[in-house]
Structure 1
Amino acid sequence: MNYKAFYAEVADWILQVNQLAVSHGMESHKFWSWVSRSIGEMANKYENNQLVTRQLTMLFIWLDDIYADMQKKK
């Protein structure tokens, strides 16, 4: 597995997440649909390698935590 390529893709993905959060909001269906779809696509691209799936799970949890914190502040 090309770890350098994977982590470069993760960095690009995080930038895209930030752009979508700004343009559509983390409360939008479009945002979470894209997050779920893109995570699945990336996992499949790297043949569901254990490191990849754990990294992607961590990123999803990170986003979910941010969303939960936003909801608490309302």
Structure 2
Amino acid sequence: MDWGAVFSDIQKWMIESNEVSKRFPISSDQYWEWVVQSTGTIGNKYNNHPLVSKFLIALISFQEENYKRIAGRNS
């Protein structure tokens, strides 16, 4: 496993996430569709290695926490 490539892809994903969130708010279906598609692509690239999957789950969980925090402010 090329862990440098994994972490590079995760870093690129985080940068892209910031860009996507400028076009689609974290509360939008478009944002979450992008999250699911993009993390799935990374997982598949690394044959869904268990540790890679855990990193991706952590990214999704973090975004979900951000969403809940923002949604709580708007209620």
- TM-score over 0.5 for the alignment? yes
| RCO comparison, higher one (Cα < 8 Å, 6+) | 2
Aligned pair count?
A: 74
For 1:29 and 1:67, the matched residues in 2 are separated by 12
Counterpart of 2:50, as a letter, is Q
Q: TM-score, normalising length from structure 1?
A: 0.96
Cα deviation for residue 30 of structure 1 reads 1.1
Runs of at least 5 residues in structure 2 that lack an aligned partner in the other structure: none
Match runs of 1:1-74 below 5 Å = 1-74=1-74
Q: TM-score, normalising length from structure 2?
A: 0.94
Identity of aligned residues (%): 26
Runs of at least 5 residues in structure 1 that lack an aligned partner in the other structure: none
